[in-house]
Structures are given as structure tokens and as C-alpha cells.
Amino acid sequence: MCTLSSCLRHDAASIWAHLLPVLDQVMELNHFVDTIHFLSDSPSSQYRNKYMFYIISQLSSHHSSITRITWNYSEAGHGKGAPDGIGATVKRLADQWVHFGSDVGNFEQFYKIIESRLENVIIKKVSEEEIIQREKLIPEQLKPFRGTLSVHQVLWDLFTPKITMRSMSCFLCDVGEICNHGKHLGYIINSNYAINKNTITDVTSYNIVPLAKTKRKFTNQNKIKLISDILIDVTNKTTHQ
């Protein structure tokens, strides 16, 4: 999937706006998703800053079935990931189009070419208005987290009053817990904390018919290799079920 915008902003508000169609797509594939794991690189100008830590806590307001999020940052300079590959494919296609003598004169032309020629990539547009809308929802007075540059994992849970910050990704120690493996950095306040579990929409009331459409063919090219230093526990945690 790839989101496109004529607005060139790369700040937290624009990342929020670009994330929403991605979340919509995920939820369309499966309405029952309650946990989202993000994997991104870690420039503090984009993904790793106090605004993003706030936005992580707000994503459940778009899809109420989302109750847990982990955001995992790869170390700076650790090479490119799958998302960069998609971006490169999109740009290469536009380049080829120009090489073959056609014009890509403006954003709409670019969108049309990409949308019609790239069969395996879902393309969504994000408008500047959507970015401005998100910007208005970000509080101006957010406290920075001391040690932001050491943060490599943020864990959010709707039912936990604190957002947990770690120096490395750990999936063995739960959100709100101090990591037994020495990766704990601190907490920040979860501004979207739900005290009462009953306030959450009952996910079983969703229409499950679209699930039938979600069958997709996966080839070796779709496989993602985890190259970061991440601890993964393969057992499902059932704390909130």
C-alpha cells in the first residue's frame, strides 16, 4: 500500500493523516483486529517525537476495536525496509513513464498513472485539508519525553493509564510493566485511557461478511524479514479477552 499527497509535509500531523487510510485498509480486511504493531525508521523529525507519542494514543478513536498498539523504531542507518521498496517502485514507474515520452505534469496525472499501472499496490490520496484537520487535534503544550532519542519502542493500551517507553522492542513484558530485560525507559500519560472496558464498542457487532474477500496470494516477495534486535514471544497474550 502507498499513500500519496500533493502536500509535501512530513511532520506528525501529516503522518497521522497518511496513517488513516492504511488503518482503514487493515480494518476492512479484518474488523476484529485489536492490536497493531508498527515498524518504522526513527528520525525524530518524523516518527519519534512527542507529537507521534500522542498520536499513537489517539488512533483508537478512528477504529474502536483497536485497543493495543506497539510502535517499533529501527535504529537510524540500518538500511531500508519494505515500505521504502514500495516508495521506490512508485517513483520508478513515474520515471519510466517519462522515459517513454509521456508527461507526468502534475499530482493528478501522477496519481492516475500509479493507480492504473501498479496492480499489486493499493494507492490512496491524502489531501492537505485532511492533514490540517489532524494538526488541529494535536495539543500545543505536549511535554517532551526525556530520552526520546533512546526510545525504540512505544507501547499503548487503551486500558493502561501509562504509555510505556523502551530502549529496545520487547514483546515479552506487557505494556505498563517495567521490562525485565532492562529495556525500560519510562512512562508518559495515556491521554486516551478508558477506565471502563464497557465503554468500548462490542467488536462482535461488526458485519463480518467482507472477511470472505480477504483471501490473497502471498509469494516469497511478500515475506518481510525482521532484521532488528527484537524479542518475540510466539504465544498469544490473552490479557484483554
Q: Given the rule CB under 5 A, which residues bind Zn ion?
A: 170, 172-173, 179-181
Least distance CB 166 / Zn ion (angstroms): 8
Judged on CB neighbours under 10 Å (0-12, 13-18, 19+), 71 is buried
Whichever of 31 and 166 has its CB closer to Zn ion, that residue is 166
Helical H segments across 77-166, by residue range: 82-99, 107-117, 128-137
Report the residue number, 154 or 179, with the smaller CB distance to Zn ion.
179
Own/partner long-range contacts of 160-164 (Cβ < 8 Å, ≥24 apart): 160/190, 160/193, 161/189, 161/190, 161/193, 162/187, 162/188, 162/189, 162/190, 163/53, 163/56, 163/57, 163/187, 163/188, 163/189, 163/190
The least CB distance from residue 173 to Zn ion, in Å, is: 3
Helical H runs in 107-233?
Answer: 107-117, 128-137
CB of 172 to Zn ion, least distance (A): 5
Which grid coordinates are listed for 69? 498498539
Distance in Å, CB of 38 to Zn ion, minimum: 18
Nearer to Zn ion among residue 6 and residue 180 (C-beta): 180
For the bound state, the minimum distance from the C-beta of residue 37 to Zn ion, rounded and expressed in Å, comes to 15
Local structure of 40: helix, strand or coil: strand
The distance of closest approach from Cβ of residue 229 to Zn ion in the complex, given in angstroms and rounded to an integer, is: 12
CA distance 82 to 191: 32
Residue among 226, 229, 221, 230 at smallest CA distance from 81: 226
Nearer to Zn ion, 43 or 182 (CB): 182
